[in-house]
Amino acid sequence: MGRYIAVEPNVKVFVEDIGAGPPVLMLHGWPLNHRMYEYQSSQLPTHGFRCILPDMRGFGLSDHPWHGYHYDRLADDVLTIIRTLGLQRVRLVGFSIGGAIAIRYMNHHQGYGISQLILLDAAAPSLTRRPDFPYGLLPSDVTKLIEQTYQDRPQMLYDFGQRFFASQISPSFREWTQSLGLQASLHGTTAAARTFRDEDLRPDLPHIQKPTWILHGVLDQVALFPLALQLQQGIRGSQLVRFEQSGHAVFYDELELFNRTLLQILQDPDAS
């Protein structure tokens, strides 16, 4: 079942709501939308979980406003979804930029409604290198993505897709993934890219007080694996799960292992 939720007076986001049971709120990555999780949302409800899958503003079926693509506003959108749906004891899952949004949410909203945080190849604590942070991509790498988006967005998506998967995928699956990126607005795509290029989430990490798992592909060429090590160091008590044969698409590269691992984490009695 899908519905629209107003997160601002003139901005609505689309939310898919599947199954019944403990809620699993799944934040998608850039530049995709909630359908990237269909190989999880088709399975988790059979194990008694309710999958709640929003499209971030500017992406998928949500509104495409000109404003609001920084992490503070996107975290506020998550809060509105949780309050509107009356969710409690939420398992919050965030992939790539979705992981970064989840981290900001846990700080700015004190983990309201959340029982468990699961970060998937998160674009955090900083996707790009800084003078005191020698990890991640060069800022110029992301700037090139933004420039190419303005020049030839389909080609940018194709090129980005070459770095996305570590496993062999079918041409049809690659085309489908690219089609999800084309559903986004050009402005939302570039504005969100500026956010993950420029924002630094290191100050947020000590404020995360909920059980946290970090699932990360060792072969990731987007959110490089050293970022996962920095997250583990920065989030007290967090657990890191390495996916040795996965790239950035940790949710698909080792699909059976990933789904089995995710289900085991969701069934952890400390999260119930």
Q: For residue 201, which of 120, 119, 100, 130 has the smallest C-alpha distance?
A: 100
Q: Which of 121, 126, 248, 253 is catalytic?
A: 248
Phi-psi region of 35 (alpha: psi -120 to 50; beta: other; left: phi over 0): alpha
- Whether 63 is a known active-site residue: answer no
Sorted by sequence, the CB contacts under 8 Å of residue 45 that are 6+ apart come out as: 18, 19, 20, 21, 51
Q: Which of 41, 62, 96, 126 is catalytic?
A: 96
The letter for the amino acid at 194 is R
> 128 has which bridge partners?
137
Indicate if 109 belongs to the active site.
no
Pairwise CA distance, residues 38 & 246, whole Å: 18
30 neighbors 127 (Cβ within 8 angstroms)? no
Catalytic residue among 220, 238, 246, 253: 220
Encode 216-263 in three state secondary structure: EECCCCCCCHHHHHHHHHHCCCCEEEEECCCCCCHHHHCHHHHHHHHH
Q: How far apart are CA 1 and CA 189, in angstroms?
A: 26
Active site residues: 96, 220, 248
